Amino acid sequence: MGELKFVDKVAARAGVPPETARSLTEATLSTLTQRISGGEAAALADHVAAELSPLLVKGAEDPEVFGYDEFVRRVADGAGVDRGVAERGVRAVLQTLHRVVGHREFEDAMAQLPADLRALAEPLPRAP
């Protein structure tokens, strides 16, 4: 999936314009990369568009340990949006990433995140 398609899907899922979706995508992938191991980041990078994969590259350093609030704060700061938009953006990016990289690779990476962050990747239950 090319970068444009990925960003378009994020825009639709988060209900934001494409340029905001691009900022959210870049900030979320960068923050995710800080939070997971280099090996898991590299495994995800293999599956995304060439323009997005550099965001998932890190050295062999260990993941930083931080929770939900810090994750969302870093994305909000990185994308220049408020917390609510950042939260919707993280959800949209993780759900789009799940579709792109496939279930096993995605689950391997998500296993390194706290449960409340992993929950953002779950589709929202549909209203009856």
**Per-residue pLDDT tens over the stretch 82-108:** 999 999 999 999 999 999 999 899 999
**Residue 111 domain-assigned (yes or no):** no
Please report the pLDDT score of residue 8 as a whole number: 96
Residue 42 lies in a domain: yes
Mean model confidence pLDDT for the chain: 91
How many distinct structural domains can be found in the chain? 1
- 45 within a domain of the structure (yes/no): yes
The answer to the question of residue 48 being in a domain is yes
**27-32: average pLDDT:** 97
pTM tops 0.85, yes or no: yes
Tell whether 95 is covered by a domain.
Answer: yes
Query: Per the domain annotation, does 120 fall within a domain?
Result: no
13 in a structural domain: yes
Give the Cα separation of 124 and 120 in Å (integer).
8
What's the distance, Cα to Cα, between the start and end of the chain in Å?
32
Q: Which domain holds residue 46?
A: 3-57+65-105
